[in-house]
A and B are shown apart, each in its own frame.
Chain A
């Protein structure tokens, strides 16, 4: 645990792609048991932040701590092993693998082999549709089913923290509602969530706290309920 007890803490994080500065001096915290959302327009740097936490993009400067561990210079697969699950933008389903193989792969770094059976059962209870399609290839799933599979894979890594990058993208409003309900249930069962969303209304309804990211910096933060009624957020992200 860090001094202030946060599960994840990001401090003064700078990330650049070549000469393009993507994040300049981001700080945020996620506490055990919370759902925290990060809202912001396209290109604000939301995905970059998640990718930096997961070790997919190199950090220029700043600190990322998970529990008591420093995540800088830890390779991406080790970060998963340490307990950070990441549902990537666009879902990242392996279309050439079956649903079951997608799930199985996510257990690569797990040592508690005995708990696996139970976890498959849990995932199939949450997403019965995936149980029906377990031998189908990932590429044949619909968008909503692919999103279910992406979340299910993250569950199978048995991470304590789940990072989600735009899970609502490309889904119908009904499916979005379903996914968000599932996230609430996953959180209630003990997984901490950091959710990146363009769909600010849904995200703030779900989250306990939120941060607003604009062109690489955090401009606002607070309780989700407060942010929801904040006039500037209403204007920029909630359609008036």
Chain B
């Protein structure tokens, strides 16, 4: 029993990170019907931003309150990653807005490769895995045989708060309303006075900063390296598709499902079967429910 509770807790931790990254895929797809395959690598860059920021802060002032360090790191990573995503969109994707969709997809893959290899070649980063400095004291609690760490609690709670905040932004604010309107009909949105390009930039910024929350949290628990964005990016992408790409709540649900796949596959099968199970799930879903769990069937507009 304790074993399963423990695994569920671990699955929630991993699933939170997938969900946060999946949101970026789903938001960009929702607004541009484009899959931003560089998103996993944007996530990777965010972990390095968190790494450098926290190292710098702790190097300059070691006596700071851990909460201050954590929040400063988080905000810097979010801001830097948002800026990166907006620049990528402007330089690489925007000129291809009217080109065949495959062009943008290939460009996104190219941007991803660029980010990976840039980070490997960039001396302060390099190919070797790294650890983030301890942002918060790692304390383990034992509750009835189940081990809960402070890091685990921070990851799950912060992710939940960010998802709640995003859901509110998309549902309640003017920008969120504009995002949903553009996802329905981007040709009519300008007639409402909505600056579509600016809303698209905001979508990229929002998606990237959420990935940066995931990146900072991930870096607190695991090692980071320039190629980490590939596998995690794929898993988050599958999460978005499983949940119903374009659907915000779907991406959250999908993220947690993939978190459970990751943690529970090794319980029943050799752990090397994880990717096999994840991709099988994707294939089966695409056959029986191609629009994902919460995705709407495509409506033919007349």
Q: Hey, which bits of chain A sit against chain B, CB under 8 A?
A: 54-56, 75-77, 80-81, 85-86, 88, 92, 94-97, 101, 104-110, 153, 157
A86 touches B178 (CB 8 A): no
Overall SS of chain B's interface:
helix
| B87 touches A (CB below 8 Å) | no
Selected from B180, B184, B192, the residue in CB contact (under 8 A) with A106 is: B192
Interface residues on B, range: 10 to 19
Smallest CB separation, A233 vs chain B (Å): 30
Minimum CB–CB distance from A149 to chain B (whole Å) comes to 12
| Contacting residues, chain B, for A157 (C-beta < 8 A) | 192-193
CB pair B191–A86 under 8 Å, yes or no, is yes
Q: Is the CB of B187 within 8 A of A80?
A: no
> A95 — which chain B residues lie within 8 A by C-beta?
184, 299
What string of 1s and 0s marks CB contacts (under 8 Å) between B136-179 and chain A?
A: 00000000000000000000000000000000000000100110
B180 with A76: CB separation less than 8 A:
no
**Chain B residue with Cβ nearest A82:** B193
Chain B residues with CB under 8 Å of A101's CB are 177, 180-181
Q: Enumerate chain B residues within 8 angstroms of A109, measured Cβ to Cβ.
A: 193
5 pairs across A/B with beta carbons < 8 Å?
A54-B190, A80-B191, A88-B188, A101-B181, A108-B193
Report yes or no: B192 in contact with A108, Cβ–Cβ below 8 A.
Answer: yes
**Contact of B177 with A88 in the complex, beta carbons under 8 Å:** no
Closest to B183 in A: A96
Pick the residue among B188, B193, B196 that contacts A81 (CB under 8 A). Answer: B193
Set of chain B residues within 8 Å of A85, measured between Cβ atoms:
191
Assuming the contacts A92-B185, A94-B185, A108-B174, asked whether A77 and B180 have C-beta atoms less than 8 A apart, the reply is no
Distance in angstroms from A136 CB to nearest chain B CB is 15
Contact A92:B194 (CB < 8 A) given known A105-B178, A108-B174: no
- Tell me if B129 is interfacial: C-beta within 8 Å of chain A: no
A105 touches B194 (CB 8 A): yes
Q: Which residue on A lies nearest to B171, using beta carbons?
A: A101
Bound-complex Cα distance A128 to B190 (A): 26
Give the Cβ gap from A157 to chain B, nearest Cβ, in Å.
6
Tell me if B191 and A76 are in contact (CB < 8 A): yes
